Structure 1
Amino acid sequence: MGLKGVSSSFLNALRQKSPFKRKQKKPAAQSLTNPTPTPSPKGDLFDGVLSQIKTYLPSTDVAQIREAFLFAEKAHTGQMRSSGDPYITHPVAVTEICAHWKLDPNALMAALLHDVIEDQDIKKSEIAERFNEDVADLVDGLTKLERINFASKAEQQAESFRKMLLATAKDVRVILVKLADRLHNMRTLDGVDATKARRVANETLEIYAPIANRLGLNNLVREFEDLAFAAYYPNRYRVLKKALENAHGTRRNLLGKITDNIRAALPAYGIEGKIASREKTLYSIHKKMKEQKKSFSDVLDIYGFRIIVNTLTECYIVLGVLHQLYRPVPGKFKDYIAIPKINGYQSLHTTLVGPYGTPIEFQIRTIHMDHIAEEGVASHWLYKSDDMTLSDLQKQTHRWLQSLLDIQSQTGDSSEFLDNVKVDLFPDSVYVLTPRGKIISLPRGATPIDFAYSIHTKIGTHAVSAIINGQAAPLKTTLVSGDTVEIITSDSATPNLQWLNYARTGKARSEIRHYLKTVNLQESILFGEKLLIQALKDLNITMPSRDDPLWAKLAKESGASSIDDILTDIGLGRRLASVVARRFVIDSPMIATSATDLDELNAAHSTQILIQGNEGQSVTLSRCCSPLPGDSLIAVVRPGYGLVVHTDDCPVALNQRKKEPERWVSVGWDDEPSKLLTTRLTITFDNEKGVLGKIAAQIAAADSNIVYLSMSDEASKIATLNITLQAENRKHLAQIIRSIRQVSQVRNIVRTKGF
């Protein structure tokens, strides 16, 4: 959704045009698992759809849909599918799938017309005039961007995908029609060559199946996965299918015995439940064999049972009955009723040891939960009635779709947007708690950064550290279900580039990138201008005005697009201010930043660069020595990091300066430096009861805040405390140290510099 963050296999898929519209003389394909047969090109082609929609739509709507069919049939006249069938068979089949979901008339008309703009040059305005604006908007959302010039095919396809997802955020029917479109294409993959079939199958597994899962369309997910498995690994598919068929006979008696036992036990509790046995899909068996390195004979839990009851209370009663009949497997119980999955799925899951020691999974749910579990967001149309509301599911779906718009508002290009959306398609979730007990659902692998941004953007932006289950933890800690998380914030804290390495949600990643591109960009421009003014002052000249022709010449020769680009590069250390300043004096090509140039130019640099410590990405206060206002400073220019500032006695800085002396400049503190910067202390003390609390109290009394702490030698009589805290300046730090010394057990306090 090459593009950064998107798998190479998906990009390869995007770079090629869909194979389903090319003329190839091959026999018509047969579906691998097709509960809704694909219509054949006969005179009664549309009769199957009509018979379905007449069961739930009035005759006036049916007449409109038939008119859309005639319009599409005429538009696609002469166009053939790769299988050799008339192309109209495809939109009709897509509409039949949508009719199975009982979608509304406008969605069905959009399904019939979904390719007429892209393939036949029909205008959106013509569809709006012939039918209505709603249908035209849906068709437009489903139409790829073919006629706009892009730098590459990959960029065009990524932008088309972004267009579809943003249309989905406004109207979920767009993605439902698109998923139906992809389902029919998957059912007819035999009509294309093996290479293209594998490409389309892989794209389905990476993108469309996760989207269907995110929307709760479990039936669709299973069919996507098995069809894709058959196309991508045809030999493995055939072998597994045969093995599963052979296993049916040997395990039929086992399933029958378990079914009889459950049916005999439930009436004693006044429960009438529907009991159905089921088997894992071939893809899920293959996936388990691959992940756990097992053979088919080692995968024991191929079969399972689903028990559907009438009420919520009966779900838990049935759970108790099952646990009396068979021994539960420890750690294999999940209550998705109390804590639903992020897509609205609710059910009780338990794995029991059945007869002959075979583990079997049971799913227990109500009729209402079963509707949502199988059809997800589509159940809104399938089962809506006066006594059944799916408000919770709709709200959850709306929140995710709305998050697409939030990500879009913070994202600059289609590849980045697609990258962030793919992150949010993780099928598994972890559930963590706020200090007040509110449950927050996050993707597997999420960190406190994701948690912070899920609460509020400001909390994420100013996050410093986290407290997980009462213990201090860094922001990159991986969260697990059940964790209670609290975020520690500071007004002076801001996002940095490293956060992207451990942010998992699309919202967190887009917000971080937005901050780095906008807020930090302005800070870098201002700081770059400040550095250039000081460098020009060393040469006894003033800053040229923005309309000075030298700026345009400088930008052209250095490959920059604007003055702000040049200033940003200076602020981030990608250009040296002294080199740029010299360019305004010497009328010659751009001076390269070689060691010789730097030696010559920095020799003239006598004016100190004044910093406040809150310049963002342009100025980094090194963590090895944590400089404070009042410290003597030196700084090194690092490309991409701007100025990295050290105390002038920092052992790390002194060592680095020997290797690259030309990159070091003189730095001083501004008259109004940033408040509450961090520094580190190492405290040695007698390890007696309550001492740690006394030290913390003295730090608080000195108007400071502890950011992080760790102890060593905890079991010995004398312990060492490594502590990171906030201080305004050296004077404030001295006050904090004096306050800590009032604790009688404290033996020594040292300000830590170097690693």
Structure 2
Amino acid sequence: MMRQYELVERVTRYNPNADEALLNKAYVYAMQKHGAQKRASGDPYISHPLEVAAILTNLRLDDATIAVALLHDTIEDTDATRAEIDSTFGEEIGKLVDGLTKIRRLDLVTQKAKQAENFRKLLLAVADDVRVLLVKLADRLHNMRTLHFVPEAKRARIAEETMEIYAPLAGRMGMQSLREELEDLAFRHLNPDAWKTITERLSALSERNRDLIGEIEAELTRRFAEHGIVAEVKGRQKRPYSIFSKMQRKSVAFEQLSDIFGFRVVVPSLEDCYQVLGIVHTTWPTVPGRFKDYISTPKQNDYRSLHTTVVGPSRQRVELQIRTAEMNRVAEYGIAAHALYKDGKTGGRNIAKATEESRAYEWLRRTIDLLNEGDTPEEFLENTKLELFYDQVFCFTPKGRLIALPRGATPIDFAYAVHTDVGNTCVGCKINGRIMPLVTALANGDEVEIIRSKAQTPPAAWESIAVTGKARAAIRRATKDAVRRQYSGLGKHIVERAFDRAGRPFAQEQLEGALTRLGQSNVTDLLAAVGRGEVNSDDVLKAVYPDYQTEAQRGRPPRRPGAGVESRSLTNETNPAELPIRGLRADLPVRFAPDGGAIPGDRIVGILTPGQGVTIYPIQSPALKQFDDEPERWLDVRWEIDPDAAERFPAQIKVSSINEPGSLAVIARAIGETEGNIDNIKMVRRGHDAHDMLIDLEVYDVKHLNEIIAQVRLLPNVTSVARVNG
């Protein structure tokens, strides 16, 4: 276990002006609080925060962050409190320690909900100070290094969480070395057989190629020196999990991999990077499709480098990464590299300021912004996982703006990446000047133009097509808003009808004074609640007009709302209290009754079903009897059909026919010839020579249905035909 003075020496080695008194006080406080606590390994518990602090010293972090590493488990695992930490070490350190403390007192139903809520809390703390994330990643790394001491029942869950969340999160923050170690440690526990096989093969391959690697390093260094470039060339071997994931992704065997060994070339300047690339490409043949310029187009985690593969010395494929020392530092330490200390001075504020220019931190802040969009913790966690796991493609707007997206992203993701309003109004797209489907997977370099319409509302089905968490969250939110607007519109019609029936004037402003009595926060929510059937329209009337009495209270028998509907439905008279029915794609949440439906020309009535909207029945439907004792659910409705829209409506007919070959085909042909559309057929055998068919149709109106019935009735194999509920 590391000693107190050793920790202080590690910090002062890169930061001579470190606050040694703070480090010593944090060490002693943590030692006292954890006392005789033991880890699963049997080691004193204090060894864990010490190792976390040691990991952070390798990242050259400030003394306040090192102190937080020593204290990070005190609130969660000891009797220490936030107030005590604040008074002893200051509010800044107390806030960081609290951000690392898991939520324990919430009544969470599932382990997934607990994980999601803790992750949500962590990211909210990270939004205030990135050092919370750095300590958390170091904490997870040490826990993974000692995972073999944890009971076996917990190992898989911890390893899976590391692989799904913390390793990719480290990668998105640009901390590649830490990510690779987390992945390998998790891989070892999640798939021990594959880990063992790949590790053994790597060891054997390294032994065989030990001299070859040295030869390639020397040859590359000599070539660069001939052109006056002092370059540091170092060979490195891919990690087991990186190899395994590539074998899975490419469906290739270990022997087919040609880039198990790669070489990193570190040069003094940006110009040297491209000069080295020219030397390599003019000396050895390049492998087509393997050149990537992440200097001119950096990754979102700030990674910058040139990648290329050549058939190099000894006819071996050589993968090269060419970068400057500064690029190499960012590639290794990522967001932690922004905490570089100048003139021996450091502090948390300097780190926060440095991260303002970090593209990785910008991504993190955008992800955290999704927390404010009303998603549940579980939805947020799933969307964040989607964001974490992707390789990027780079696309452009027609004006040349660069948009980075995950591989497999569609124009829908592109539209939402540009702006939420662009996504919500998207109706089509052009990719490289050609109109393409919105489900098209985008490729590097595509120019994408989004076609928009103000009348568009994103379909709920888009959520399953979108790849990015931002797009999915925005689609879900827009869908909820659209449903809310539908129910609000329905509720307004219901309330207007109730006021009209009571002979009371209605104005939407009147409802504002009644919101408190009805338990609603705003008028829109109140009307939506009425539309969903959660609030009765009579209750709204009473809240606005306390002296109002229902017909039952006045001693009169309640009028069945269906009365009087028939005459109005057959004429052109319009009553504003009636709901206009425009079909299945109207603004109101309307559906048609099962077993027959309703079509224009029918006399109709609406039945309000809580949570489902309005169901439209023909006035003669026997199903209406079940609602006789619930007059408050009856609504006056009318058809309001655009004759130019040619919209179809559901209807059902029962056909009795002779059982002979081809009889169904004859009936279907007759329906098709009269422009009817068959939606479903159910056949019931009535005897050896006959059967009945229930045919669900889509028709324009009553006249159209009668034409179909007349046509089918003329068929020689048909004995009878009639409309169901007709």
TM-score between the two structures when normalised by the length of structure 2: 0.71
Please say if 1:232 is aligned against 2:198: no
Deviation at 1:525, TM superposition (A): 3.8
Other-structure match for 2:228: 270
Say if 2:159 and 2:187, in contact at 8 Å, map to a contact too. Answer: yes
Say if 1:634 and 1:648, in contact at 8 Å, map to a contact too. Answer: no
CA–CA distance in 2 between the matches of 1:186 and 1:202?
A: 11
Please say if 1:341 is aligned against 2:299: yes
Say if 2:295 and 2:304, in contact at 8 Å, map to a contact too. Answer: yes
Deviation at 1:373, TM superposition (A): 0.8
The 5 A counterparts of 1:99-498 are 99-355=57-313, 357-382=315-340, 394-498=357-461
Residue 241 of structure 1 aligns with an amino acid whose one-letter code is T
Residue 44 of structure 2 aligns with an amino acid whose one-letter code is P
CA–CA distance in 2 between the matches of 1:57 and 1:259?
A: 34
Deviation at 1:222, TM superposition (A): 0.9
Q: 1:146-176, CA deviations, whole angstroms, 9 ceiling, x for partnerless residues?
A: 1233344433332121010111112111110
Q: 1:336-357, CA deviations, whole angstroms, 9 ceiling, x for partnerless residues?
A: 1111111010111111123565
Distance 1:249 1:498, change over 3 A: same
CA–CA distance in 2 between the matches of 1:122 and 1:525?
A: 51
Which of 579, 599, 602 in structure 2 is aligned with 1:609? Answer: 579
Distance 1:315 1:61, change over 3 A: same
What's the C-alpha RMSD, in Å, of the aligned pairs? 4.4
* Unmatched tracts of structure 1, length 5 or more: 1-39, 588-596, 623-631, 661-755
Deviation at 1:249, TM superposition (A): 2.7
Say if 1:430 and 1:479, in contact at 8 Å, map to a contact too. Answer: yes
Greater alpha carbon shift after TM alignment, 178-187 vs 495-504: 495-504
Greater alpha carbon shift after TM alignment, 424-433 vs 175-184: 424-433
Say if 2:395 and 2:402, in contact at 8 Å, map to a contact too. Answer: yes
The 5 A counterparts of 1:615-630 are 618=588
Other-structure match for 1:723: none
CA–CA distance in 2 between the matches of 1:156 and 1:573?
A: 34
Deviation at 1:75, TM superposition (A): 0.9
Q: 1:479-511, CA deviations, whole angstroms, 9 ceiling, x for partnerless residues?
A: 221111222223332333233222333333333
Residue 404 of structure 2 aligns to a residue whose secondary structure is strand
Residue 168 of structure 2 aligns to a residue whose secondary structure is helix
Deviation at 1:195, TM superposition (A): 3.4
CA–CA distance in 1 between the matches of 2:648 and 2:499?
A: 27
* Unmatched tracts of structure 2, length 5 or more: 345-349, 542-549, 554-559, 570-574, 593-601, 617-639, 655-726
Distance 1:576 1:134, change over 3 A: closer
Please say if 1:51 is aligned against 2:13: no
Residue 532 of structure 1 aligns with an amino acid whose one-letter code is I
Residue 352 of structure 1 aligns to a residue whose secondary structure is strand
CA–CA distance in 1 between the matches of 2:316 and 2:174?
A: 29
Say if 1:525 and 1:564, in contact at 8 Å, map to a contact too. Answer: no
Residue 465 of structure 1 aligns with an amino acid whose one-letter code is G
Residue 331 of structure 1 aligns to a residue whose secondary structure is coil
Residue 317 of structure 1 aligns with an amino acid whose one-letter code is Q
Other-structure match for 1:629: none
Other-structure match for 2:475: 512
Distance 1:262 1:412, change over 3 A: closer
Residue 414 of structure 1 aligns with an amino acid whose one-letter code is P
CA–CA distance in 2 between the matches of 1:641 and 1:446?
A: 35
Greater Rg by CA: 2
CA–CA distance in 2 between the matches of 1:177 and 1:530?
A: 53
Please say if 1:532 is aligned against 2:494: yes
Q: 1:213-243, CA deviations, whole angstroms, 9 ceiling, x for partnerless residues?
A: 0000000011111111112222322222121
TM-score between the two structures when normalised by the length of structure 1: 0.69
Residue 455 of structure 1 aligns with an amino acid whose one-letter code is V
Say if 1:533 and 1:543, in contact at 8 Å, map to a contact too. Answer: no
Distance 1:601 1:533, change over 3 A: farther
Other-structure match for 1:75: 33
Other-structure match for 2:648: 653
Say if 1:531 and 1:609, in contact at 8 Å, map to a contact too. Answer: yes
Other-structure match for 1:23: none
Say if 1:166 and 1:404, in contact at 8 Å, map to a contact too. Answer: no
Residue 54 of structure 1 aligns to a residue whose secondary structure is helix
Say if 1:91 and 1:112, in contact at 8 Å, map to a contact too. Answer: yes
Residue 651 of structure 2 aligns with an amino acid whose one-letter code is R
Other-structure match for 2:679: none
Deviation at 1:454, TM superposition (A): 2.5
Residue 648 of structure 2 aligns with an amino acid whose one-letter code is A
Q: How many residues align?
A: 589
Deviation at 1:66, TM superposition (A): 1.1
Say if 1:168 and 1:174, in contact at 8 Å, map to a contact too. Answer: yes
Q: 1:410-445, CA deviations, whole angstroms, 9 ceiling, x for partnerless residues?
A: 124322222222222133111111112121112222
Distance 1:328 1:543, change over 3 A: farther
The 5 A counterparts of 1:19-58 are 40=1, 45-58=3-16
Residue 413 of structure 2 aligns to a residue whose secondary structure is helix
CA–CA distance in 1 between the matches of 2:169 and 2:199?
A: 26
Deviation at 1:256, TM superposition (A): 2.9
Distance 1:562 1:456, change over 3 A: closer
Residue 160 of structure 2 aligns with an amino acid whose one-letter code is N
